[in-house]
Amino acid sequence: MFIENTTSSLFRKGCIEVVCGSMFSGKTEELIRRLKRARIARLKVEIVKPIIDIRYHKDNVVSHDATEIKAIPVKDSKEIFEKVGQVDVLGIDEAQFFDKGLPKVCEKLARKGIRIIIAGLDMDYNGKPFGPMPALMARAEYVTKVHAICMRCGDLASHSYRKEKKKNLVLLGGKDNYEALCRNCFNSSVKK
């Protein structure tokens, strides 16, 4: 059987990809890179982000090194269905800030033949699994863990250490609030 158009939704297979790691590891840069490549392939691409993420821009997804892409801010995972039209590829940034319904939403979209690319912190500032990220990684066909460089010793960093002692789980910030640390530096900092 000859298939003339392999991007047709009839023949396209959906999948879930997760890019995870600590702060400053390049998660958002990798998400943007993959979405730009999908656009080069003439695929219809959309990206969503949680409405609370206004650190660098109200509407755009922006990496720490100022790479950016237009996004649709949404209040919760259900709103993704309402705001995103017919797409081939859907990017989701800062997935850790979404509700526990995000994995089911991604599963439904992947079943429709959509490629979902998700970026988010795998651990919170306490070193614990963060939000829906563990469930997303379990459902994903592809998981990429990216690493920052430890800001104290130069080793590979996998932890986001919060400099401020505020107890609330969500504290949006950048280098003023967080440091990327390796396991050893993180553990010695937490003991203090």
Residue 186 lies in a domain: no
- What is the block-wise mean pLDDT of the chain (192 residues), using blocks of 10 residues? 40 88 94 94 94 62 61 92 90 95 97 96 95 97 97 96 71 71 93 64
- Look at residue 169 and tell me if it is in a domain: no
Is 101 part of a structural domain of the chain? yes
Neighbouring-strand partners of residue 48: 72, 92
Within a domain: residue 152? Answer: no
Give the single-character DSSP code of 188.
H
Q: 135: domain range?
A: 15-147
Q: Which of 68, 94, 107, 179 is catalytic?
A: 94
State the pTM of this model: 0.84
| Within a domain: 7 | no
Please report, for the domain that includes residue 127, its CATH number: 3.40.50.300
Has residue 5 been placed in a domain? no
Is 82 a residue of the active site?
no
For 43-71, letters b (16+ CB in 10 Å) and e give eebbbbbbeebeeeeeeebbbbeebebeb
> How many domains is the chain built from?
1
Cα 109 to the chain's mean position, in Å?
16
